[in-house]
Structure 1
Amino acid sequence: MPIYDYIYGTVDKNSNTLYENSVKRKEESPNVVHLTHLTTPESIYHLRLGFAYLASKPYSSVWYLWLLWPVTLWFMVLTKIYRRTFVVERNRFDQIRLQTWAIPTYRVQYCLKRQKESINNMIEEAVLEAEEKGASAIW
Structure 2
Amino acid sequence: MSTVILYGTETGTGELVSDAIADVLAGEHDPSVYDMTDYAVEDLDPSDFVIVVCSTYGEGELPTGALPFADELDAQKPDLSGLRFAVFGLGDTVYDDTFNRGGEIMAEMLTNLGATQVGEHGRHDLSSDIKPTAQAEEWAQGIAPLINA
State if a TM-score over 0.5 links the two structures: no
Question: Higher RCO, 1 or 2 (CA under 8 Å, sep at least 6)?
Answer: 1
Q: Could you say which structure has the larger radius of gyration?
A: 1
Which one has a larger percent helix, Structure 1 or Structure 2? Answer: 1
